[in-house]
Structure 1
Amino acid sequence: MLKNKQIRIALAVLGACLILAAVIAVLPSLSSLPAPELQEDSHQTISGLRVNSSQPGVLEVTWDAPADPPLEYRLTWARVGENSPARSDGPGNAYPAIPSQQITGLDQGVRYKVRVRARYEDFESDWSDPIEIAVASSSVAPPESTDAPTGPPQNLKAAVTHNTVSLTWEAPQSNGRVSGYLILRRDLDAAPENRFQILEEDTGSSATSFVDSTVLPGSRYAYRVRALNGSDSESEFADVEVSTLAMSAASSGGPTPKP
């Protein structure tokens, strides 16, 4: 009996040795096998969030699409200093299927914060880092003054030749806007008193000079200049009287006097 027991023990030890030897023989081949790839988490935080405002009251939002396309995105926005809206809130939420969204109807000049996350069938990614931006506002130019120039044009002067009268002046000393000038003329030797001819009904410019080349030599004229502002408002008149130079016999082509 003792001998049989010793034989069984010896066989068991031999079997264990054979198994150990087989394992040792296989280990080198196992170490040469490639390691299994790790499955990355495809539900990562959205990256590349970009927010611009090139139109009044509008934000243009874009971001990078993840490698694993989601069912949709959830985009939220709120004023800086206020809580981001909950899913049940209508305003402040959008669910685009593409990585871009235009947000309209925002308060101009106000700072907003924007964030986005990806939504999968049974999972949502983390929120992106919020971006704060001021919404563009329309620049409204202040209305031009429609006040009438209160005083007359200043320092009206005239330079004459035999066939021209050159008028110069300065703008009225007032805050009214000047869009042009009314220029009148009266022939003092022929026209009745206060009967003026219109030379320029509206110069259409704030320029302060005018040349009258329709005068006659050796004649007397009265000029009046009034500032306009384009809205049927007028300043007081500035007045000046001039006499053109007489044309000499030589310049007129007449006979040359004898010495």
Structure 2
Amino acid sequence: MKKKNRFVAGVVACGVLAGVSTLGLTTAASAHGWVGAEGSQLIARQAMPANAGLVGAAAYDKQSFEAPKGFPADGPVDGHLPSAGVAAFSQVDEQKADLWAKNEIQAGPVEIDWKYTAPHKTSQWRYYITKNGWDPNAPIKRSDLQRISTIKHDGSEATTNPKHFVDVPADHQGYHVIYAVWDVADTPNAFYNAIDVDIEGAAAPDTQAPSTPSGLSAHHVATTSATIRWKASTDDVGVAEYRVLRDGKVVGSVSAPEFTDTGLSAKTAYEYQVQALDAAGNVSGTSHALKVTTKALPTKDETAPTVPTGLHTMAVEPRLVTLMWTASVDDVGVDHYVVTRTKGHEVKTFPSTATMFDDTTVKPGAQYHYTVRAVDAAGNESGHGTALEVTTPKADGADDGNQVSAPRWDAFGTYAKGDVVAHDGRLFEAVQGSKGAGDPNWINAPSLWKPLS
């Protein structure tokens, strides 16, 4: 199907942009993403150029539509799905049939590309569409939506799976809203985007199946797990996912040509095959079989885990540094990690059973170097990962020694107008009531918080 990036403009008053600037959010380096990268057939509501005069603060912060994951059981409340429940973006929740610019598409497969400003490790993407008979002049509710696609991921960064092909139902025509949900693997949150579409009618049906996966090979075979890889299939529209079979039974599906199978038995032979599927449900032939035999349990475990990688910060405050890294792999299993912190000649170590650690013993305005190593149950230690240098911000009047004159700001907290909090050595007063979604940028939003110091 030929790609299109056309859109139909709604009732847009572009001249009000200047009046919105006072609500603009401060864009930070830890921003996240939205639907509408180059090549995408669809663009999210807040990112549509023709909507710029209607979306308020979102015109300057398209990437922070973030709320707790777990949709539809959790996540944004009904009536606030397009804004993800972010108070500063509430204008995006307005719903009228002729209000928003629309992406013109045909029923059938459409390409959706996300623009990532911080490509978090990802578990999956899910896509919903409004049901036939929904009310386009009423706030969108969960009950208005039906799921049309789930794009599963392997926990790696989102940029390793940049293109998604989603099948728009053939019985849908006219104005509908597609609701995109990006589930992050390394935070408790997800990102939510509403996409307005005008469906012109069914395209020619896609009946061509993807090519058969080939070149299966085994990697990182251990006692209870194995990773298999293969050459990517091709399709006239696009491959949506791969189905992995172990001994003839489906054990998982992934969007990239790699799959790690866990929970296996030691010293046991298994046979793997792979099929490719497109968004229309066409299934390729089944690949050749790859035989994999897991390792026997060692009489004595002398193999160290792999070195932890990807050490980075999730938060840096005068008295807090939050670290995160990619899990190590071990032939038996990683027992824990050891975080080493150096400051001049001072060396401290901290144990962590997770791939995340909060260092609450740091001091304001100090420079630290961190490394992480992995340890298995037998005591075998990996080497140290690449060192990470972190400098904490200096404190000011809001943080006098160990005495903080206001409660520390919580990115997940609920606040009323007039509440005062401390963050990064400064005091802030709430401009309006809000409930945090975990985004560390909200404290810098003028529409939510006013600095007092």
TM over 0.5: no
Structure number with the higher helix fraction is 1
Structure number with the higher strand fraction is 2
User: What TM-score range do you get, normalising by the shorter chain?
Assistant: 0.3 to 0.5
TM-score (ref. length: structure 2): 0.21
Whose Rg is larger?
A: 1
TM-score (ref. length: structure 1): 0.36
